[in-house]
Amino acid sequence: MSSKEKNSVTILTESQLSSRAFKDEAYEFYKELRKSQPLYPLSLGALGKGWLISRYDDAIHLLKNEKLKKNYENVFTAKEKRPALLKNEESLTKHMLNSDPPDHNRLRTLVQKAFTHRMILQLEDKIQHIADSLLDKVQPNKLMNLVDDYAFPLPIIVISEMLGIPLEDRQKFRVWSQAIIDFSDAPERLQENDHLLGEFVEYLESLVRKKRSEPSGDLISALIQAESEGTQLSTEELYSMIMLLIVAGHETTVNLITNMTYALMCHGDQLEKLRQQPDLMNSAIEEALRFHSPVELTTIRWTAEPFILHGQEIKRKDVIIISLASANRDEKIFPNADLFDIERKSNRHIAFGHGNHFCLGAQLARLEAKIAISTLLRRCPNIQLKGKKEQIKWKGNFLMRALEELPLSF
């Protein structure tokens, strides 16, 4: 989006927010919004009217605001309820990310014990083995596409083993995940996504049947037990929860590993500093989360009660979308916000969200990134971008900040 287009556009659409062109210039656009239009109008097709939030303080406030709901059934009456955009929607949307208390607390409690600090630390050796195995495959060639060869397979293997699902199915998850996080309401895209989600539902039904007959010590078996007890988890919630764990269990980490590597490749001084001072790894990960936030925009929140923000009335049923990427570049919170500084102090980023919906897998994502990046730099000391920086492209995607690919040589 050119500066001329920025000045002429009064309402942003979903397709614009999802475009590669927007991703390329988003940070400059967000900077202008934070200065002059921190509440920016959106047109979201069937979802209706919305607002884009760009400032950090507003984001913190709204992420905890009880007037905003994740479950639209807590906002709309039966008569107002919108028709499902996808026929498979109901089977995949009854998860904790789309729920409000007390349902959110009930659903989160069912899985949070698998993501405690103690449980995550027990995965360290397994993650290290996966990282080394993946690099063993590409190291003889002296080149790799980081996304396909390393950043994607590592977290999908980890979450697959935690859930107890066959590793040979992981490529299917990649396609299905893209269909789930693709917010497009274009008719042809909707039809394609609905077909893919139908495949995902069929897969989940088959998987659950197998787990019912042969339960084990994995997370899906534990969820099936909760569902069989009747009061803790409905069948729709079971399918939705498994879907969420598969998708959220790898998408954010793929982008964290890729975006962090890209930032280091583009900032040679910071890369060299990290090589010389490996104890800065934790700080570097937090800075990578802030600088190129893996989740660019939050999933939607519905306004249950009207309120005023920056002199504008936010009406009931309006949609609120918060740019985590913009909030994490807010100059009032982060000095030299556009500078990638792995020694940044007081890094209060919100890349994993804030409030009730703070990312359950944040500790796991951090550990996976720490092992992945440390191992990559140790085993490939001469690693660098293959080709020109200008050839590296951001994906056109509504929710995520993700690279199409990241070719590296070493």
- Residue 85: per-residue pLDDT: 58
**Sign, Cα dihedral of 215, 216, 221, 224:** positive
Are residues 265 and 271 in contact, defined by beta-carbon separation less than 8 angstroms?
yes
Total structural domains in the chain?
Answer: 1
pLDDT tens digits for range 243-254: 999 888 899 999
> CA-to-CA distance for 313 and 143, rounded, in angstroms?
54
Helix, strand, or coil (residue 50) = strand
Which pairing describes strands 407-409 and 384-385: parallel, antiparallel, or unpaired? antiparallel
Give the separation between CA 258 and CA 401, rounded to whole angstroms.
10
One-letter amino acid of 91: S
Dist. CA 310–CA 208, nearest whole Å: 48
pLDDT in tens, 169-182: 878 888 888 888 77
State residue 7's pLDDT score: 46
Give me the residues of the chain with pLDDT under 70, please.
Answer: 1-9, 82-90, 183-187, 228-231
- Give the rounded distance of the alpha carbon of 161 from its chain centre: 20
pLDDT of residue 378: 97
Q: What's the domain range around 129?
A: 3-409
3-state secondary structure of 78: coil
For residue 2, the model assigns a pLDDT of: 44
| Predicted pLDDT of residue 207 | 92
Please name the residues in contact with 308: beta carbons below 8 A apart, sequence gap of 6 or more: 314
Q: Do residues 408 and 143 make contact, with C-beta atoms less than 8 angstroms apart?
A: yes
**In degrees rounded to 5, what are phi and psi of residue 12?**
-90, 145
Q: Residues 212-255: pLDDT tens digits?
A: 999 998 999 989 887 766 667 888 888 899 999 988 889 999 99
* Cα dihedral 199, 189, 151, 164 in deg (nearest 10): -20
d(CA 173, CA 152): 11
**Could you please report the per-residue DSSP string of 162-180?**
HHT--GGGHHHHHHHHHHH
- Residue 139 is predicted with a pLDDT of 94
**Eight-state DSSP code of residue 17:** H
CATH number of 136's domain: 1.10.630.10
**Radius of gyration from C-alpha coordinates of the chain:** 21
pTM of the predicted protein model = 0.92
The Cα–Cα gap between 97 and 299 comes to 8
How far from each other are the two terminal CA atoms of the chain, in whole angstroms? 35
Determine the Cα–Cα distance for residues 87 and 107; give it in Å rounded to an integer.
24
What CA–CA distance (Å, rounded) separates 209 from 10?
A: 51
